[in-house]
């Protein structure tokens, strides 16, 4: 079992403990709700079971047997294929920012790159960062770490999201020591 599969299994076990329901009971709750859209199901699980965004999101993927990584894998797409798609068209100018950032992050040590529909998730024992184009003019870096002091550059994300902070990059020059210090803290806290 890969580290990613092990992490998913642990997360599902923790969700069952938090909710007091088995996965079969949670699937039945989803079916009985009549909801079909991922976001609506996620919100319902957050409200009814008191789950955070990440747990509810993972649970929807599990219950519906979907996720961005499986979709990419089943389509036979490599990480590079997914990146080419994410950074296509008007967003192609952002790819050098992504590449510079990834080169810097790779010096931190081993981690998994998990391609999703519009971004890539970077994981050790858990996700420590996510990055992808936020618009045609900037790359968004989400950081999963606690206890940082917000700045005009490092924005706090409201509780319940997949990350606690985000930083927007519009040029390669913004892949700097300050950003890499924040990423290192997230990397270290992920395992």
What does the pLDDT look like over 100-155, one tens digit per residue? 999 999 999 998 888 887 888 898 888 899 999 988 899 999 999 998 999 999 99
Supply the pLDDT for residue 23.
Answer: 84
pTM of the prediction? 0.64
Which residues does 74 contact at the CB level (< 8 Å), separation at least 6?
none
CA atoms within 13 A on the CB side of 107: 9
Contact (Cβ atoms closer than 8 angstroms) between residue 100 and residue 90:
no
Residue 74 scores a pLDDT above 50: no
Q: How far apart are CA 67 and CA 76, in angstroms?
A: 14
Q: What is the chain's mean pLDDT, rounded?
A: 84
Q: Annotate 12-34 with b (16+ C-beta within 10 A) or e (fewer).
A: beebeeebebeeeebeebbeeee
Nearest to 2 by CA among 119, 109, 114: 114
Say which CATH class 79-189 falls into. alpha beta
- Domain positions in the chain are 3-66, 79-189
Which two three-digit tokens encode residue 88?
């296509």
């Amino acid at each position: 079992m890969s580290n990613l599969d092990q992490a998913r299994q642990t997360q599902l076990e923790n969700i069952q403990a938090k909710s007091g329901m088995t996965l079969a009971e949670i699937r039945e709750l989803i079916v009985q709700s009549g909801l079909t859209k991922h976001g609506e199901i996620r919100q319902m699980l957050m409200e009814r079971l008191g789950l955070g965004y990440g747990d509810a999101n993972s649970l929807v993927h599990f219950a519906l047997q979907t996720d961005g990584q499986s979709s990419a894998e089943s389509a036979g797409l490599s990480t590079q294929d997914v990146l080419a798609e994410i950074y296509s068209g008007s967003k192609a100018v952002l790819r050098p920012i992504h590449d510079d950032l990834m080169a810097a992050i790779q010096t931190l040590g081993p981690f998994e790159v998990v391609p999703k529909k519009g971004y890539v998730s970077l994981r050790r024992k858990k996700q420590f960062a996510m990055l992808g184009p936020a618009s045609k003019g900037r790359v968004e870096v989400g950081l999963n770490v606690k206890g940082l002091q917000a700045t005009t550059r490092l924005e706090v994300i409201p509780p319940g999201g997949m990350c606690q902070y985000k930083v927007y990059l519009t040029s390669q020059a913004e892949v700097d020591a300050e950003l890499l210090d924040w990423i290192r803290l997230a990397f270290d806290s992920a395992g």
